[in-house]
Structure 1
Amino acid sequence: MSDTEVLIVGAGPTGLVLALFLTQAGVKPRIIEKNSGPGQASRAMVVQSRTLEFYRQLGFADEVVRRGIPMDAAHLWEGGREITQIKLGEIGQGLSPYPFVLSFPQDDHERLLGEQLTAAGVEIEWETELVEFHDTGDQVRAILRRGGAEEECVARYLCGCDGAHSAVRQGLGVGFPGGTYEQVFYVADVEALSGGADGHEFNFCLGANTLGLVFPIRSTGMNRLIGIVPSTLAGRTDLTFEDIRPSVEELVGIRVGAVNWFSTYHVHHRVAEHFRVGRAFLAGDAGHIHSPAGGQGMNTGIGDAVNLAWKLAAVLQNRAAESVLGAYEPERIAFARSLVATTDRVFQLGVGQGAGNQVLREWIIPHLAPFLLGFSRMREGAYRLVSQTRLHYPESPLSHGSAGDIHGGDRLPWVPGNNGSDNFTPLKSLDWQVHIYGEATQALREAAQSANLPLHSFPWTDHAADAGLKQGALYLVRPDGYVALADAHQDAKALGDYIARFRITTRA
């Protein structure tokens, strides 16, 4: 029998980030994975800005950017011809320290996260499977199997990050309503003899009941192809790339040479009925799966992990009330439901066979999208939506007050400073803190000191005003970089009441 505070089932990006955040917050988890190593046929290609901001808190965002490829442009194709180009570049300039879309394949991504976890002193237990578990009220007793041997693991909490066929979700008896797209998808790693995606650009190809994406990969110099198998071949169980080569090459304008690997899969759109049952939690694909439209899936799972990790660490270390951990499900399940509905609509519009869908692909998207994105406000709106920097928790029990344009539950807006400094630098502490943009009153300083809360006072600048902050207002910031309490008048009592209500203490 072995004991751990947190048992994580699944070593994909969600489970790895959960383990990394917990470890840096002072909780050493145990992480198991039934497979023998990182995934090979990975489908997720895009790392969004919000994920990179989390990685900056953990200390390795620059390494992820170095290994990936920032995308400068998207080429839109329809019916085998390029119809327009959308400039991306630093589309979110001034909104994030990472104002771009990063191409970084999930297999490379998982290896990097695994390296970071090993360096932090936690080893992934490969070929180890969750057999069953029981929540006794004050702990979870799990049976694990490796090879032919079984052991019992006693954990304070169990986290299911084990994908669409989650053993944790099934063990909890939690429903997974939704559906499965009729299309079969493929993913392949190929050498492009001609065409393909070059440098810092990717191809997005649409057609009736078809879809194709082509991304460059820095680590191999190859191209990653993702798309829909032709309907005439969708029923085959023995498909190879050669079977779909003609249709793929025609759709995306590529001539393929060597094929490193090829795989097919089904895509679902589902959200679990609950993300928490007792001492067990669901995160990532175990809780929600949806179409690849917008490159949101993996990034949403990583967002789940960060949201859950700081709450688990705080409760385990007696630095917050249990009610803080209770906010995980309402915060994340609302976003998952909205995301699944949105990506489903976008996917159906993009690949539909009707006349309206064809007009959308051939005329509206190629002509209207570049025109609209020429306006700064539209570019900003599109960036915030896709990058997940707009994601907020207005209905969370942890979200209180407003000051300027910022409400409790909003992501703390990024404010660049001089000499490379900014207001995100203190977030590396992974702890609660107070931000003031302007001068802090003596009463507030004393209240923060009494609560052992770090207080960071930043100069009032045009950047702070543009970000929607209010001069001299109080912003209590959570360990994940979201505003918990916003108060326009630096009300020291409001700060004290919030701290007392949730029994918050810092790690310092």
Structure 2
Amino acid sequence: MHRSDVLIIGAGPTGLVLALWLSRLGIHARIIDKTSTSGTTSRALAVQARTLELYRQLDLSDSVVQQGHCVEAANFWVKGEPVARLPLSRIGEGLTPYAFLEIFPQDEHERLLIKRLEAFGVSVERDTELEAFEETGDGISATLRLPDGQRETCQACYLAGCDGARSVVRKALDTGFPGGTYQQIFYVADVQASGPTFNGELHVDLDEADFLAVFPLAGSGRARLIGTVRDERAEHAETLRFEDVSSRAIEHLKVQIEQVNWFSTYRVHHRVADHFRTGRAFLLGDAAHVHSPAGGQGMNTGIGDAINLAWKLAAVLSGGAEARLLDTYETERIAFARKLVATTDRVFTFVTAEGRMADLLRTRLAPFLIPKMASFERSREFLFRTVSQITLNYRRMPLSMGVAGHVHGGDRLPWAHDGEGDNFEPLKSPNWQVHVYGDTSDEMIAWCIEHHLPLHVFDWRPAFETAGLGRNGFYLLRPDTYVAIAETCSDPKVIERYFKHHGIRSFFG
């Protein structure tokens, strides 16, 4: 009988990243998908800075940046003319190694992930569906329908539902999925075109016409159009063709279509599952939460789910932690999902609202405010911090404790970089580790050596103070590079008590 440590249902970015991280940590993952091939079309485009930081652990970041497209600026148009420009190429400078907006379409992204996964000897099993599963005493028993129509019963220690908004896993668990559906119909089209908006930058029409955004892709004259479909056309969304969508917004942005490579329509939902875990089954990505495309958060949030769960599953399956560590997955990720849905809902409502007042806000107020905001460094920094997900944190949650400098337990470790080095370099290794900025005690050094816990001591430099790091204390970092303990002393017993309290026995995945 086929047995795996983790059975992953769904081979989109969330499922692929989960399989990759588990494989990197020595865990046997099996991944299935009901489709015949990986996606050839997709809506997700942006790979946020936080995702790129975490991708360093699998040596993926450079490939994404090289194959994708760095967006230099966002331009806003009203009545057929550009009225505001927001520079983006260095918008997060000093905050992260990836201080820009990176566009890398989901279909290309998936192909890269699949190739890397195959290097670990794991292939996606296509045309394979989950029909049913049940929890047994020590694992999961699942029934799969194979490509030839035969059924297979397989065993796994845990099951991960990464199977999208219509998740079979979520329905089988009878988990509620409260929320709603926006009335607007969206279309997405991959086109070859020309015009002033095909200059490698992002362009958004703020006019009374249908909403339209032009996202640049790598290569000359390639772009992704995302727009709304209003009025009576929305009633026939399933049969719409590109020729049927309004040309007003396209004309406003002076887009000259040469070829439409693919086109589809979709509705936008905003929902968060009642639970992300039931026993040995977990929900991740769109199976757990769906929200508007505002800010390019969806795919990145699913990837964050996968990395959060991967190191915890690896710790438990390898005997390095007690099973109760897995309880923290839902606690940490559901809080962020709920906040994200509320935030993107507000932005989405503003951008797509109809009526005279909404039009006035977009065409008169927004063009005035955007340049003003762009002129202030703090405004640009706030925008980047929010969208890039580098402010995502797990403060006041079970695995987080303490404060040192401006850094709290649960925060992403701040990036500090100068001519003498980069404090993120040790984070490429996905294991528990201790960082000290300044001096530490002999006891801390001896304890870390004795317990094989990596200790990185950085000579104090002004860059660390600028980043908000505390001097001479320590930061215990989780395998996903979030701060577990922020402490002003250098007493290793604080770490010892922490691990004992949380049932963690081994420091490597």
- What TM-score, normalized to structure 1? 0.97
Query: Matched residues in 2 for 1:172 and 1:485: separation?
Result: 35
Are the equivalent residues in 2 in contact too, given 1:408–1:485 (CA < 8 A)?
yes
Could you say if the C-alpha distance between residues 410 and 209 of structure 1 is closer, same or farther in structure 2, counting changes exceeding 3 Å? farther
| 1:269 Cα deviation from its structure 2 partner | 0.4
Question: After superposition, what is the alpha-carbon deviation per residue over 1:106-145, rounded to whole angstroms, capped at 9, x for unaligned?
Answer: 1111111111111221101111111111012420111111
1:113 aligns with 2:125: no
Are the equivalent residues in 1 in contact too, given 2:209–2:249 (CA < 8 A)?
no
Question: After superposition, what is the alpha-carbon deviation per residue over 1:401-448, rounded to whole angstroms, capped at 9, x for unaligned?
Answer: 1111101000011111436x4111111210000000111210111222
Query: Matched residues in 2 for 1:149 and 1:78: separation?
Result: 57
Query: Matched residues in 1 for 2:398 and 2:12: separation?
Result: 30
Runs of 4+ residues deviating >3 angstroms: 78-81, 207-210
Query: Matched residues in 1 for 2:206 and 2:25: separation?
Result: 44
Query: Matched residues in 2 for 1:261 and 1:426: separation?
Result: 42
| 1:208 Cα deviation from its structure 2 partner | 4.4
Structure 2 counterpart SS, 1:232: helix
Point out the more displaced range, 364-373 or 56-65: 364-373
Are the equivalent residues in 1 in contact too, given 2:192–2:258 (CA < 8 A)?
yes
The equivalent residue for 1:308 is 309
Question: After superposition, what is the alpha-carbon deviation per residue over 1:316-357, rounded to whole angstroms, capped at 9, x for unaligned?
Answer: 111122222110001000000010011111111122124432
The equivalent residue for 1:146 is 146
| 1:37 Cα deviation from its structure 2 partner | 1.2
Query: Matched residues in 1 for 2:290 and 2:78: separation?
Result: 27
Query: Matched residues in 1 for 2:203 and 2:76: separation?
Result: 6
Aligned counterparts, 1:24-103, within 5 A = 24-103=24-103
| 1:395 Cα deviation from its structure 2 partner | 2.6
Point out the more displaced range, 88-97 or 215-224: 215-224
The equivalent residue for 1:456 is 456
* AA of the residue aligned to 1:505: S
Aligned counterparts, 1:24-423, within 5 A = 24-147=24-147, 148-199=149-200, 201-208=201-208, 210-218=210-218, 221-236=221-236, 237-244=238-245, 246-418=247-419, 421-423=421-423
Question: After superposition, what is the alpha-carbon deviation per residue over 1:14-55, rounded to whole angstroms, capped at 9, x for unaligned?
Answer: 011111111111112000011111112200111100010011
Point out the more displaced range, 190-199 or 93-102: 190-199
* AA of the residue aligned to 1:265: Y
* AA of the residue aligned to 1:374: S
Query: Matched residues in 1 for 2:207 and 2:106: separation?
Result: 26
Are the equivalent residues in 1 in contact too, given 2:207–2:363 (CA < 8 A)?
no
Query: Matched residues in 2 for 1:44 and 1:50: separation?
Result: 16
Are the equivalent residues in 2 in contact too, given 1:80–1:251 (CA < 8 A)?
yes
Structure 1 counterpart SS, 2:66: helix
Are the equivalent residues in 2 in contact too, given 1:8–1:158 (CA < 8 A)?
yes
Are the equivalent residues in 2 in contact too, given 1:417–1:423 (CA < 8 A)?
no
Are the equivalent residues in 2 in contact too, given 1:209–1:351 (CA < 8 A)?
no
Are the equivalent residues in 1 in contact too, given 2:47–2:103 (CA < 8 A)?
yes
| 1:220 Cα deviation from its structure 2 partner | 7.3
Are the equivalent residues in 2 in contact too, given 1:137–1:279 (CA < 8 A)?
no
Are the equivalent residues in 2 in contact too, given 1:23–1:120 (CA < 8 A)?
yes
Query: Matched residues in 2 for 1:170 and 1:132: separation?
Result: 10
| 1:209 Cα deviation from its structure 2 partner | 7.6
| 1:187 Cα deviation from its structure 2 partner | 0.8
* AA of the residue aligned to 1:434: V
Query: Matched residues in 2 for 1:42 and 1:248: separation?
Result: 22
| 1:152 Cα deviation from its structure 2 partner | 0.9
* AA of the residue aligned to 1:112: L
Query: Matched residues in 2 for 1:343 and 1:349: separation?
Result: 10
| 1:221 Cα deviation from its structure 2 partner | 4.7
Query: Matched residues in 2 for 1:2 and 1:220: separation?
Result: 47
Are the equivalent residues in 1 in contact too, given 2:241–2:263 (CA < 8 A)?
yes
| 1:207 Cα deviation from its structure 2 partner | 3.8
Query: Matched residues in 2 for 1:374 and 1:24: separation?
Result: 43
Structure 1 counterpart SS, 2:330: helix
* AA of the residue aligned to 2:341: V
Could you say if the C-alpha distance between residues 339 and 348 of structure 1 is closer, same or farther in structure 2, counting changes exceeding 3 Å? same
Point out the more displaced range, 203-212 or 387-396: 203-212
Structure 1 counterpart SS, 2:390: coil
Structure 2 counterpart SS, 1:22: helix
| 1:103 Cα deviation from its structure 2 partner | 1.0
Could you say if the C-alpha distance between residues 475 and 443 of structure 1 is closer, same or farther in structure 2, counting changes exceeding 3 Å? same
Point out the more displaced range, 298-307 or 78-87: 78-87
Identity of aligned pairs, percent?
51
Are the equivalent residues in 1 in contact too, given 2:32–2:125 (CA < 8 A)?
yes
Could you say if the C-alpha distance between residues 441 and 260 of structure 1 is closer, same or farther in structure 2, counting changes exceeding 3 Å? same
Are the equivalent residues in 1 in contact too, given 2:285–2:299 (CA < 8 A)?
yes
| 1:501 Cα deviation from its structure 2 partner | 1.8
Structure 1 unpaired stretches of 5+: none
- What TM-score, normalized to structure 2? 0.96
Question: After superposition, what is the alpha-carbon deviation per residue over 1:190-249, rounded to whole angstroms, capped at 9, x for unaligned?
Answer: 1113243322x1112234483212112215752111111232311113211111162342
